[in-house]
Amino acid sequence: MSATKSYGERAKLHSNPTAKAFLELMERKKTNLSLAADLTSKAALIELADKVGPYICLLKTHIDVVEDFDQDLVDQLTALAKKHDFMIFEDRKFADIGNTVKLQYSSGIYKIASWSDITNAHTVPGEGIIRGLRDIGLPLNRCLLLLAEMSSAGTLAKGDYTTTTVELARKYKDFVVGFIAMRRYEDKEGDDFIYMTPGVGLDQTTDGLGQQWKHPEVVVRDLGCDVIIVGRGIYDQGRDPAHEAQRYQEAGWKAYKERIQL
């Protein structure tokens, strides 16, 4: 069962080079924390990534909210990823037909496939979305997460939708390496998906707009998820981001250690 194996042991089970390198990175750096850096200015985003870099395995961006985006931002984030040893996940949530997502992933202003190690997609359009993204991403050694569930109240991603999403992931395991999910699903022979979970907070439980935050202990130890995705809990006004990131790193790692020793 992959829930009780270490990240390092699980790295050996992956053929996708980015998934393998990501699991090795978590083991080496002792962190399962991803920063959700939802900031609208380039300078602020770079400053935050530099401060929080030592504590995270993954920087999650929403690149289309940055008002002064340019190629230099990508170059600087890539340099910070090297400096601090983290990977980059553009949280693009693709949701269109295969041909359109190929263009959205490779082209336009952002050229996401050229710099983002990991990205994600909804499965609403059906299998074609995975095939389209895979055509672009696989030759570049990128990988994909599918949104099997969401953290927000009233989400429609549940039941049969979630089950079918997991089946689609199994069909394209060379490229689909995990899920955005709220809990770990039952493994089938040969499964080792990486579960990344947003909606994590140590101090608050809701933002008044439908977001629902759970404690890292619940998410990682009790529900079996692998990576905690934390945004405002780290960088909200009045918080010291490096201090908060360290708190989340410690809480996430403790919960993981407890889980694999169960």
- Which parts of this chain interact with ligand 6AU (CB under 6 A)? 36, 38, 62, 91, 120, 147, 150-152, 180, 198-199, 211, 229-233
Amino acid sitting at position 230:
V
Was 231 annotated as part of a binding site? yes
Q: Which residue out of 5, 20, 42, 96 is catalytically annotated?
A: 96
Amino acid sitting at position 262:
L
* Residue among 23 and 146 whose Cβ is closer to ligand 6AU: 146
Smallest distance, Å, CB 261 to ligand 6AU?
Answer: 27
Distance CA 36, CA 15 (A): 27
Distance CA 104, CA 256 (A): 35
* Residue among 90 and 192 whose Cβ is closer to ligand 6AU: 90
Q: Which residue out of 51, 91, 117, 214 is catalytically annotated?
A: 91
Active site residue 91: yes
Smallest distance, Å, CB 12 to ligand 6AU?
Answer: 27
Smallest distance, Å, CB 190 to ligand 6AU?
Answer: 25
Compute CA distances 138 → 41, 66, 118, 144, whole Å.
Answer: 31, 27, 11, 9
* Residue among 178 and 231 whose Cβ is closer to ligand 6AU: 231
Distance CA 144, CA 177 (A): 6
Active site residue 117: no
Smallest distance, Å, CB 67 to ligand 6AU?
Answer: 17
Residue 250, judged by CB atoms within 10 A of its CB (0-12, 13-18, 19+), counts as middle
Was 224 annotated as part of a binding site? no
* Residue among 1 and 65 whose Cβ is closer to ligand 6AU: 65
Q: Which residue out of 5, 20, 30, 93 is catalytically annotated?
A: 93
When CB distances to ligand 6AU are compared, the closest residue is: 231
- SS3 at position 220: helix
Smallest distance, Å, CB 37 to ligand 6AU?
Answer: 8
**Selection from 164, 159, 207 nearest residue 182 by Cα:** 159
Was 232 annotated as part of a binding site? yes
Helix (H) or strand (E) holding 105: helix 98-106
Amino acid sitting at position 60:
K
Both tokens of 48, joined, read: 């935050």
26-31 contact pairs (CB < 8 A, 24+): 26/57, 26/226, 26/227, 28/85, 29/57, 29/85, 29/86, 30/249, 30/253, 31/55, 31/56, 31/57, 31/249, 31/252, 31/253
Was 60 annotated as part of a binding site? yes
* Residue among 136 and 230 whose Cβ is closer to ligand 6AU: 230
Residue numbers in the known binding site for substrate are: 38, 60, 151, 211, 231-232
Active site residues: 91, 93, 96
Residue numbers in the known binding site are: 38, 60, 151, 211, 231-232
